[in-house]
Each structure stands twice: as C-alpha cells, then as structure tokens.
Amino acid sequence: MARFPHLEIQQVIEGRFKSKKGGGGEKERDPITLANLKNRVNHGQTLTANVNALTDYWATNAKARKEQNLPALPDPDVIPVFLQVDTEEFDTESLLSFGIEIIAEEENGFIIGASSDNFSSLKSKIDKFIKQEGLFKNKAAQLWQINDGVQWRVQEILSDGLREKWDQIDDNVQYIVDLGIACYKRISKQPEKKDDISEERHQRSLQRWQEKKERIEIEREDLEIKRQDQFEELVRGYGGEFLSSYVSFDDSFSCRIKISGKGLKDIVLNYQYLFEVTEYDELAISNSSTDQLENFDPELVAPPSGAPKVCIIDSGIQEEHRLIAPAIDASTSRSFIEGDVSKADISTSGGHGTRVAGAVLYPTSIPRNGRHQLHCFIQNARVLVQAGGNVSLPDYLYPPELMEDIVNHFDGTRIFNLSINSYSPCKLTHMSQWASSIDKLMYENDVLFILSAGNISLLSGSPLRPGIREHIQAGRQYPNYLIDQDSSRIANPAQSCFALTVGSVCIVKFDDGLKESFGAKDDPSPFSRTGLGLWDMIKPDVVEYGGDFAKEKNANPNITNESSISPELVKSTYNGGNGIGKDSVGTSYAAPKVAHIVAHLQRLFPEESSNLYRALVVQSARLPGQMFLNPTLNSIRHYGYGIPDLHRAVENSEKRITLIASGEVSAKQANLYSIKVPTQLNRPGQDYDILIEVTLSFVARPRRTRRRTNSYLSTWLDWESSKLGENYDHFASRILKDMDEPEERPDDQNSIKWVIRERKDWSKINGVKRQDSSLQKAWCVMKSYDLPNAFSLAVIGHKGWESDLSEQVPYSIAVSFEALSGNNINVYEMIRVENQIELPVEAEAGIEVRV
C-alpha cells in the first residue's frame, strides 16, 4: 500500500434531472431550409423528379439483372437512396415515417437509406409539403436533396484505397474485403413521468413500452439472421468465400469475404443494406537489426501469484528469453495461426513481440545486475506471420473476430497490448469494424486495450501515405507534416473510443556534427501519428518515449537509427546476440510502457474497473514544459493529455492528493460529489498555486452506422464542477435541472476556467471540448485564497441511441489537488482530515509502494 494512497470521494447524492417547464427561444433556421419553405413547389417538384428517376433506374436495373442471369438481390423491391437533411432540425430517426430505413449516417447531413414501399410514403410527405397539408407540412423543407444515381455508393461506401483502384477492379481477380451491413430496428423513446400522470398510469405505460421493446429486439435478431442468410446466398452466387464469421453490433453486422471483382462491383453498387467496404489492409510494425554489446546478469524474481497479466497480441514472443522467461504465463500461450502452433517470435532481426513484452517489464531500462522483482505476468497471443520478407496478419484472421477470440481465450486477463496498426490513416466517418469490436469488448468484459497510435514509415512508395523521406523530399518539414497531412492521422484501430491510444515522443537531443535527431527531449517523434480522432475525440490519449531518428545535415538526408535516441529494448536471440538492443523505435514500444503502469494499477486496485485504470493513467499525464499550462490544439493533437507518470498514477505526496470514485449513472441522471476545502488552505493571506485536475472515464454500448460520439454510444457522460463561490446546495439545484445540452450551460465570470471545457470556444484550446471523448480530463491552476469552501462535482448521464433510460453506464472519476508552490504545506493531510477520510491500516503503517 502506498504511503499516500488515493482516497475515495464521498458521494453526496444521486438524482434525476428535472425538466424545465416551457420552451426556450426558437433556434435560427438554416438558410437552405428557409429557402425550401419559400419555394415549396420548386423544391417539392425537384425531390419528386429525383425519386421518380431513381425508381425508373432500379426498375431498369432489376430487368437487366434478370436478363444477365445475375444472382438475385435480397428484397428486390427495396431501393437504396442517398439523401441530405438539415442536421440542426431533422431527426434522422424520423425517416422511418418517410418509409425509409436508415442504413448509415454520413458527413454533412447525408444519409444512406433504403425504401421498402417504392417511395410511396416519401412521395406523400412531399405532396403534403407542396400543398401545405397536415401537421408536418413543413418537414420536407428539411429534406435538402435526394441523389438520383448510384455512383455515390463508390464515394461513400468504399475505403480510400479501394476507391482509388475502383476503375481498375478486374472481374476475374479475387479480392478480400471487409463489409459492414446495417440491421437496425428503431425502438421508441421510453415514456417519462409527467406531473399530470399518476404513478400507476406511468407504470402501465412503462410495462407496455418494455413489452414492445422486447418484441422489437427479437424482431431485430430475426432480421439479422435473415439478412445474413440472404447475403451468404448473394456471395455464394458469385463463388465467393467467407473468411470469417459474422461479428454483430446493435445496429449492424460485419464480416470478411473473398470474392471476384465482378461480384464485388455488384455488391457495392446494388446490395441495399451495405454501408462500408474496406479492402484487406496491410499492417505496420517496427523492426531493426543491431545489438547493444554488453554483459548483464540480473536476478529476476517471478511475479507473485495473483499478479496482473498483460496479453501481448503480436508476432509471438521468445518465451525462453532470460529477461522474459520468469514472467511468461506459458500455460495460456497460443498461436492463432492456422496449422502453426509455434508461439515463437516470427519477426526477424530481434523480434517485435519480444521487444513489446520486454517494454512492459522494463519500461525505462533493463537491469544489468542485482535482484529485480517482476510485477506482472506476460501472455503470448501470436497473430502475425512472416511471408515474403514481411510480417503480416493472415487474411483469414478477421480483426473483429480475432479480438473476440483472444479475449475469450485469455479469460480473466484484463490488460491487452496491441502494438499493431494498419498502414493507412483511420477513416473519419464511422468507427471501423476493428476499433468498434475493441470498444464492444471493453464494455462487455471490463478489459482494457492499450493501442499504439501507428507509425509513419521511413519510405512508403505510396502517394496516399508518404513516408518521412518523401515528406522531406517534397519540402514538408518536421514536425509540420505530422499535423498538416491527413496521411499522418492515427492508424486503425487507434481511433477506438475506449482504448488507451499511445503516441511517441523523443528521448533526448542528438547531434554529432554530421547528423542530428529530428527532435529534442519530449518533442513528438517524427514517425508518431497524430490526432484528433473521430468526431474530434482527443487521440492519442497519452504519449510515451518511443524514440527518434537521426538525419544527415544536408538537403536530401539519409535517415538512420542511433542508439542514444532509441529506447532500450529486450531483443530475441534466435540469430545470436545478447538480447538487448537500442536500435528500433516506434509507437509500438511506447504503448507497452503505458501497459506497465496499468499493470501496477491493477495490482493496487484488483477489484476496480478498467475505467479507473484509464482515468488514473490520464490523471497522471502532463503535457511537457510550458504546454501544460498553455496548450494549443497542436499540443493536444501530438500528445493527447501528455506523458503519464507511474508515481502520480499509483500514489501521492504531501503536496498532492488524489480522490477517486467509481459508480454507474443512467441518462437524465446525475451523481454528485463534494470535497471540503480546509480553511487553512484557502484562508486570506495564503498565496499558493494549487493545481486541480479532474478526469472522467466511462464506457457504453457502441453502434456502427451512426456518427458523432453521442450517436455512437448508447449513453454518454460528462462532468460539471461547481463555480467559484457556489455552495453545494445551489450547485445541486442547478445540476438537477434539464442539463441535456452541455454546450447550453451558462458561463459567467465565476465559472472555473478549465483548460478544456464544455464548448470549443470556451476552452483555452480552441477546437476541442470535453464531452467529445470518453476520457474527459481538464485542469486549472488557482490561487489558494480563491479556492471555494467546497469543491463539488457532478457526473451527468445523457441519452445516446439507447431508448431505455434505465440503462446504467459505469464510470470512474479522479480529482487531484496539488500545491505547485509553498514548501511547508501538506495538502494531502489537510484535505484528508477535513473530509474525515480514514487511511487504510497499511498506509498508516507507512508501507511504501515499490515500482
């Protein structure tokens, strides 16, 4: 137990929001919607003409398919449609009343849909709009356009790489692709209790709604089975092969198939329920080939029984390596490669999985001698193969299905390190199949994935994803190309909403007169991919020391590895060598250093959720230097929340106290906490700089066909703090009103000026806001005499796509107070005593954490 352990925040109250009576002011309407209202006839006729053209096209297409003897489309009367709506006024879910099933939500208000009634409902709505009839006579004004062709499918459904080569798709060549297929049934909103309705009547309404919900859920399962059977028949009609099982989400399912170019074209252009096609993507890992020649002989002590386990999903591990063997959990090791049971590291030149495993055990340096206690077990999940000089994921290992298999096999393991990424930057419309599967597993199993952000290669040979040499040759200098180029964006699956994504920073400055490093200590590594992530999420979450390259001082420099600027790593010894090297760099080796911290957290808090581990890692992180107090958007894009610190994550000091809480909250509910501030800390005359940090971490159920964080998640959370001079009762009253729109909360001079706030234009960092992410950290520095008598917090639940308002979402929150000035101030003891929090017996005895 740490001498200064984290202490529990006392929860004061939980309660539901009370909706405001009456309506607010009417929102300003979009000029396009206003123009459509003024020109009803023209707009209505344009929409009708496009619908008729689309109907004629599909009638002709159906006839041609029959004449060409092509495999039958499932539900041949269902017509796909691509339309655009007013995102401010139009409720996407209301498209059902237009007779249109929502297949997927795209950018800028565009919707992929499917009509099952030959557009009769849609035409009726348009006709009433023209004639100004009915309660919803103005609704079609918010329906901005309907596409009357099919070429939009190539632009919207295909991945960037597949779209680039679409015109060269050969009918007779076999292609491996991953597909996302919609399967969604809308459930009406749960009835809420109103003042004029008796409790008995409300309970009857709830019962009817629950019964209807259960029926619709069964219907959705039946629909999914039906669509899977129909899709299999379509694929088999082209002689296609399924390389995976189906992976299901609440609104869709996905799979990997191998099919001819002819079949692929037909599915892309004609299959009604398709919203995503991604070509099998190559993977990127780091590697190199030299040794650091020196002797070492430490006495390594195996982890104690019950120690945390970290699963390395990679190229295998040299399990008998003398630096790793004492920590290997050999009984669970598994190769997921068909026909190859070897768990050995197949990556040549020192191994990749072996290096990653070593970085979990030895994040800063490898012991040369003396006794060293290992703190966690290492588990080996080999998923990569060596083929043609490259290390890759076999095409029959479909990542979403593979992630499920790994979590199921390593049952009881809670920490998974994945230092594998695709070469290409992640897409920004929908969460990928791989990333979504990780999010789903984290929610369902309370596990934590630590992911590398991905590397920019030295030389790629692809104009879509230029390497570092190509950037320099094109005149794009470090570090600008990391921010300015879309190709430098974090790589799949690093955009995962819930995983801890880790970027890389430089270790030290290097300059020998002929060559110099790209950066100095704590600068972004020249290969480290950047954020933001999907829907302006803060990604990467944190960064660690993954190294740097050296370049010659000339116009067209050679770029090399140098030992002084590379992390020290364990290396495989299959081909000789002494098992240590400082010759390889990458975000691959930054991620396991964070896994090292998480393993310590699990050791200290074995019964706590992964949410707490995530929260404490981010709570411990700091942006380097002056960026911490004066960050920019580019700071966040490079570093996320900064460089984590093991000691801040697991313990405190006399000058710092961290209070933690975990719980559950549902939509339209708030859990409130209050921390008393001692008078000896905030009394007039005290002039200390006090750093306050708050981090919220939560997980919820994801769905794939929608975009934006609040549509991707079933329920989403945010936090709100009390204002300066605001007592707890006033804070509680203010919070327990209708708080569904964080951006509409009032701001005034008494609001605490957190670095990252509820609105992008309120934050010091213009361009990010807290509630876009599932990890929400903010911090500020205040004078001690400005501290309130009580610091109150609320964790607030908001409705996402889930209709059931009783669904509980798990979360953890951490609050820290730290004195940045003043030599004789014991913040830890002051706040502990004021809040009457008892220390654990072990802490009182002064037993220290050894890390």
Give pLDDT, residue 600. Answer: 97
Give pLDDT, residue 766. Answer: 82
Whether 528 contacts 663, CB under 8 Å: no
Chain centroid to CA 30 = 31
d(C-alpha 593, C-alpha 600), whole Å: 11
Give pLDDT, residue 625. Answer: 92
Average pLDDT over residues 537-549: 97
Give pLDDT, residue 848. Answer: 39
Question: Which of 291-295, 701-705, 800-804 has the lowest average pLDDT?
Answer: 291-295
Give pLDDT, residue 18. Answer: 57
pLDDT in tens, 741-770: 665 666 778 889 899 988 877 777 888 999
Question: Does position 845 have pLDDT exceeding 60, yes or no?
Answer: no
Question: Does position 453 have pLDDT exceeding 80, yes or no?
Answer: yes
Amino acid at 617: V
Task: Give me the residue spans of the domains in the chain.
Answer: 7-20+652-844, 39-150, 164-187+211-280, 295-456+492-506+523-546+563-620
Structure token digits, residue 192: 């809420």
Structure token digits, residue 111: 């919707």
pLDDT in tens, 649-661: 999 999 999 999 9
**Cβ within 8 Å of residue 661, ≥6 positions away:** 8, 9, 11, 673, 812, 813
Give pLDDT, residue 26. Answer: 57
Q: Give residue 23's pLDDT band: very low, low, confident or very high (50, 70, 90).
A: very low
Give pLDDT, residue 743. Answer: 59
Amino acid at 165: K
Whether 530 contacts 554, CB under 8 Å: no
Give pLDDT, residue 521. Answer: 97
| Identity of the highest mean pLDDT range in 116-125, 229-238, 277-286 | 229-238
Nearest Cα neighbor of 806 from 184, 189, 92, 199 is: 189
pLDDT in tens, 401-436: 999 999 999 999 999 999 999 988 998 889 999 999
d(C-alpha 815, C-alpha 722), whole Å: 13
Q: Give residue 850's pLDDT band: very low, low, confident or very high (50, 70, 90).
A: very low
Question: Does position 777 have pLDDT exceeding 80, yes or no?
Answer: yes
d(C-alpha 490, C-alpha 326), whole Å: 34
Question: Does position 564 have pLDDT exceeding 60, yes or no?
Answer: yes
Structure-model confidence comparison of residues 200 and 431, the more confident one: 431
Give pLDDT, residue 14. Answer: 64
CATH architecture of 295-456+492-506+523-546+563-620: 3-Layer(aba) Sandwich (3.40)
How far lies 497's CA from each of 278, 313, 362, 517, in Å? 20, 19, 28, 33
Q: Give residue 837's pLDDT band: very low, low, confident or very high (50, 70, 90).
A: confident
Residues of the chain above pLDDT 90, percent: 67
d(C-alpha 111, C-alpha 84), whole Å: 6
Q: Give residue 189's pLDDT band: very low, low, confident or very high (50, 70, 90).
A: confident
Q: Across all residues in the chain, what is the average pLDDT?
A: 90
d(C-alpha 381, C-alpha 704), whole Å: 27
Give pLDDT, residue 289. Answer: 55
Give pLDDT, residue 288. Answer: 57
Structure-model confidence comparison of residues 12 and 699, the more confident one: 699
Give pLDDT, residue 551. Answer: 94
Question: Does position 844 have pLDDT exceeding 50, yes or no?
Answer: no
Question: Does position 238 have pLDDT exceeding 90, yes or no?
Answer: yes
Question: Does position 492 have pLDDT exceeding 60, yes or no?
Answer: yes
d(C-alpha 615, C-alpha 594), whole Å: 13
Whether 740 contacts 483, CB under 8 Å: no
Structure-model confidence comparison of residues 832 and 578, the more confident one: 832
Is 471 exposed, middle or buried, given 0-12, 13-18 or 19+ CB atoms closer than 10 A? buried
**Cβ within 8 Å of residue 432, ≥6 positions away:** 278, 426, 492, 493, 495
pLDDT in tens, 52-105: 999 999 999 989 988 888 998 988 889 999 999 998 888 888 888 899 999 999
Whether 338 contacts 396, CB under 8 Å: yes
Give pLDDT, residue 602. Answer: 97
Give pLDDT, residue 846. Answer: 40
Give pLDDT, residue 740. Answer: 57
Give pLDDT, residue 739. Answer: 60
Nearest Cα neighbor of 484 from 638, 630, 587 is: 638
**Cβ within 8 Å of residue 199, ≥6 positions away:** 193
Whether 566 contacts 547, CB under 8 Å: yes
Work out whether the CA dihedral 397, 402, 405, 409 comes out positive or negative.
Answer: positive
678 preceded by a cis bond (ω within 30 of 0): no
CATH architecture of 164-187+211-280: 2-Layer Sandwich (3.30)
Consecutive H or E run containing 218: helix 199-237
CATH architecture of 7-20+652-844: Sandwich (2.60)
Q: What is the tally of helices (H) and strands (E) in the chain?
A: 21, 36
Query: DSSP for 424-443?
Result: SBPPSSS--HHHHHHHHHHH
Give pLDDT, residue 643. Answer: 98
Give pLDDT, residue 516. Answer: 95
Whether 489 contacts 529, CB under 8 Å: yes
Q: Give residue 24's pLDDT band: very low, low, confident or very high (50, 70, 90).
A: very low
Q: Which residues pair with 560 in a beta bridge?
A: 550
Give pLDDT, residue 294. Answer: 59
Question: Does position 51 have pLDDT exceeding 50, yes or no?
Answer: yes
Rounded to the nearest 10 degrees, how much is the dihedral formed by the CA atoms of 336, 341, 347, 350?
Answer: 130
